């Protein structure tokens, strides 16, 4: 009798807004279409946060949302999530919802 092991479940990673300053930016062709890789990018999640270095990647809809917007050394706010040791672009951040009008 053989036992099968279930594939390891991926740990939930929340989506958050980060200010990213791309390092090198390259567009590549993969089996599922084009994608962007930006190595040695710096990111912060709050104004007081110290910049941290990471690889930024964008695929599919995330790639479409930022296509042409990433420039080496130019900071941009992005909706991202951790994916292993890199940051995966989800898209551009959503606008903050306006405060409810008081009645």
Q: Dig out the tokens for 19 from the structure.
A: 């200010």
pLDDT tens-digit readout, 18-39? 999 999 999 999 998 999 999 9
pLDDT at 12: 83
pLDDT tens-digit readout, 40-65? 999 999 777 899 999 999 999 999 99
d(CA 34, CA 27): 7
pLDDT higher than 90, residue 100:
no
Phi and psi at 81, nearest 5°, equal -150, 150
Angle at 83 between CA 55 and CA 25, to 5 degrees: 25
CATH superfamily, with its number, for domain 15-89: Nucleic acid-binding proteins (2.40.50.140)
pLDDT confidence tier of residue 11, bands split at 50, 70 and 90: confident
- What average pLDDT does this structure show over 74-92? 95
Domain boundaries, the chain: 15-89
């Amino acid at each position: 009798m053989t036992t099968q092991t279930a594939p390891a479940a991926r740990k939930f990673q929340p989506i958050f807004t980060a200010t990213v300053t791309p390092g090198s930016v390259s567009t590549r062709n993969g089996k599922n279409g084009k994608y962007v890789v930006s190595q040695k990018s710096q990111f912060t999640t709050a104004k007081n946060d110290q910049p941290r270095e990471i690889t930024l990647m964008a695929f599919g809809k995330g790639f479409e949302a930022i296509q042409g917007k990433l420039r080496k050394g130019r900071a941009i706010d992005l909706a991202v999530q951790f994916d292993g040791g890199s940051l995966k672009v989800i898209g551009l951040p959503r606008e903050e919802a306006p405060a409810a009008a008081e009645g």
